[in-house]
Amino acid sequence: MNKHPTKEELSAAAIRKLEELNKLPQPLKPKDRLQIPAQEMPSQDPVERRGNVREVALGYSAEQAKLEALRCLQCKNMPCVAGCPVRIDIPGFVSAIAQGDFQKAIDIIKRNSLLPAVCGRVCPQETQCQAPCTVGKSLRDVGKAVSIGRLERFVADWEREHGKVETPQIKSPTGKKVAVIGSGPASITVAADVRREGHAVIMFEAFHKPGGVLMYGIPEFRLPKKIVQLEIDTLKAMGVEVKTNFVVGRTRHLKDLLDKDGFEAVFIGTGAGLPKFMNIEGENLVGVFSANEYLTRANLMRAYDREHAQTPIYHSRKVAVLGGGNVAMDSARMAVRLGAAEVHLVYRRTEVEMPARVEEVAHAKEEGVIFHILQNAKRIIGNEQGCVTGMECLKYQLGEPDESGRRRPVEIKGSEFMMEVDTVICAIGNDSNPLIKQTTEGLATTKWGNIIVDENGKTSLDRVYAGGDIVLGAATVILAMGEGRRAAAAINQMLAEK
């Protein structure tokens, strides 16, 4: 009857199953492994969580983790590793979990990934490591692949909750100084990797709190801020200096960091950060927001905490969110939590083409977000006070595939209809932030404003490197981390040769 078994129920079921498996001849045969039920992620009840910002996914118990790990077939060709942007030894850490050696598991992950507690929560595993998983393929359902991400999260949480997070060893000081601009996932990675080599690292953040998109963008209910804070605290414990309220390009020019302030190298990890709007009539009406603004108010400025927060957030009754990515889901689910009576998600393709993670789409639906596929806003309509009162939409159908490989949405002429809403949130992506480009002569960028780098993450300027969304356009935490690793290695090598 219970659509949402509790964490305790799931754990109890896992204990029973483990006992059954122990009676089978060891090691388990692939056939037995394939029969182990995929472990469901315990989660907060959908009705209850509509009214709070606490984390939705509660994490596996040790027994659930072991059971899920036992599903892994330990394939020799390791298709999962090929699917991981930072090539974590996935069979290795999963096998350690199956044996109950959680310390070994986290150690294996940390050889390649710096942010397992973050990536275990926000990586799109179903399109990366879990997509080619043999278990999923055998069961003909990618949703039944080994839940590598949940296992990663489990050991990362285990390490943190058991107070086993150690500050990495730092080599003796080299007397060299590196500037890291931004404090999101790419910058965190570079700061850690460069600092480990004994170089001084100063991280510059424009906001009053470090963490970048992990702080302002991804909501508490998906990524608790104390986890991000811990990553920052670890950097500080390593001796990385974090300067908040510092906008490189404005407070100080990038070239001054190199020429006047004694930095030997600079890494630019400033992220995407310039919201796109639809270019339609009415988008500057009161009640139209970029997802960045809506989420920043809610997350970083804590507007969800109406008792304490001084930053206001719009009081909405009926909200329309435009877009189909994770940011659209985050915005819609945040609007639910902020008390909107109805939240509509409007996307011009179908659910198959949605870039959002399957889990986020499912969570949004459970929380009551109403999905409108093959529809898009044509214009936004307001009243005399300039406030949104509605949105005229158009219906679409799918045509031929476009350059992204997804079928192109084609508008159906004459299909206009009205949607009564008081708030519209645009979650259709970001362009690159122009600040550093505008203020740094000679920094080569693409026509979209993304910084051009070589295979080592080096820009057109000497000693200046870049990575993350400012290079890739809007991408993922793990890709940003991968880029950061690459750039950090190049910076370390350059400094060693100097």
Partner 1 sequence: MNRIISKKQLSADVFMMRVEAPLIASERRPGQFVIIQLDTNYGERIPLTIANADPREGSITIIFQAVGNTTQRLAALNEGEFIENLVGPLGRPTHIEKFGTVVCVGGGIGVAPLYPIVQGMQQAGNRLLVIMGARNKSLLILENEMRALADELIVCTDDGSYGRKALVTAPLKELCERNPKPNLAVAIGPPIMMKFCAETTRPFGVPTVVSLNTIMVDGTGMCGGCRVTVGGKTRFVCVDGPEFDGHQVDFDNMMKRLKAYKQQEDHARDQCRLEMEIAKQTERSQKSEAMDQQAKIRSE
Q: Tell me how far CA of residue 387 lies from CA of 11, 147, 423, in angstroms.
A: 50, 45, 9
Nearer to partner 1, 246 or 371 (CB): 246
Exactly one of 11, 134, 292, 445 binds partner 1 (CB under 8 A); which one? 292
Q: How far is the CB of 234 from partner 1 (least distance, A)?
A: 20
What single-letter amino acid sits at 449?
Answer: G
Residues 118-137 that bind partner 1 (CB under 8 A): none
Contact 283, 199 (CB under 8 A): no
Decide: helix, strand or coil at residue 95.
helix
Nearer to partner 1, 436 or 477 (CB): 436
Under the binding rule (CB under 8 A), the answer on residue 315 touching partner 1 is yes
CB atoms < 10 A from the CB of 42, how many? 19
Q: What are the residues whose beta carbons fall under 8 Å from the beta carbon of 181, sequence distance 6 or more? A: 187, 203, 204, 248, 254, 266, 267, 268, 269, 270, 436
Residues 246-265 that bind partner 1 (CB under 8 A): 246-247, 250-252
Using the rule CB under 8 A, give the single segment among 145-153, 277-285, 350-358, 393-401 that binds partner 1.
Answer: 277-285
Using the rule CB under 8 A, give the single segment among 64-72, 270-278, 372-380, 473-481 that binds partner 1.
Answer: 270-278
Exactly one of 102, 158, 263, 314 binds partner 1 (CB under 8 A); which one? 314
Under the binding rule (CB under 8 A), the answer on residue 305 touching partner 1 is yes
Element (H, E) at 119: helix 116-122
Residues 139-158 that bind partner 1 (CB under 8 A): none
Using the rule CB under 8 A, give the single segment among 55-63, 164-172, 275-283, 369-377 that binds partner 1.
Answer: 275-283
> Which residue, 53, 58, 61, 19, is CA-closest to 36?
19
Nearer to partner 1, 102 or 314 (CB): 314
Nearer to partner 1, 401 or 434 (CB): 434
322 - beta bridge partners? 346, 426
Exactly one of 273, 324, 409, 468 binds partner 1 (CB under 8 A); which one? 273
Under the binding rule (CB under 8 A), the answer on residue 404 touching partner 1 is no
Under the binding rule (CB under 8 A), the answer on residue 342 touching partner 1 is no
Under the binding rule (CB under 8 A), the answer on residue 230 touching partner 1 is no
Q: What are the residues whose beta carbons fall under 8 Å from the beta carbon of 221, sequence distance 6 or more? A: 49, 52, 53, 54, 55, 56, 333, 337
Under the binding rule (CB under 8 A), the answer on residue 385 touching partner 1 is yes
Q: Tell me how far CA of residue 38 lies from CA of 9, 69, 98, in angstroms.
A: 15, 10, 14
Residues 412-441 that bind partner 1 (CB under 8 A): 433-435
Exactly one of 140, 208, 413, 447 binds partner 1 (CB under 8 A); which one? 208
Residues 85-104 that bind partner 1 (CB under 8 A): none
Exactly one of 37, 100, 386, 442 binds partner 1 (CB under 8 A); which one? 386
Q: How far is the CB of 253 from partner 1 (least distance, A)?
A: 8
Token pair listed for 208: 């009053």
Q: How far is the CB of 425 from partner 1 (least distance, A)?
A: 11
E runs forming strands in 248-324? 265-268, 273-275, 288-290, 318-322
Under the binding rule (CB under 8 A), the answer on residue 317 touching partner 1 is no
Under the binding rule (CB under 8 A), the answer on residue 369 touching partner 1 is no
Q: Tell me how far CA of residue 266 lies from CA of 2, 236, 255, 444, 466, in angstroms.
A: 54, 19, 9, 15, 8
- Cα–Cα distance between 449 and 429 in angstroms, integer? 14
**What's phi and psi for 244, nearest 5 deg?**
-85, 175
Q: In degrees, to the nearest 5, what angle opens at C-alpha 69 toward C-alphas 68 and 75? A: 125
E runs forming strands in 80-239? 177-181, 200-204
- Cα–Cα distance between 242 and 201 in angstroms, integer? 9
Nearer to partner 1, 139 or 286 (CB): 286
Nearer to partner 1, 103 or 284 (CB): 284
Per CB under 8 A, residues contacting partner 1 are 206-209, 216, 244-247, 250-252, 273-275, 277, 279, 283-287, 289-290, 292-293, 296-297, 301-302, 305, 308-312, 314-315, 385-387, 433-435
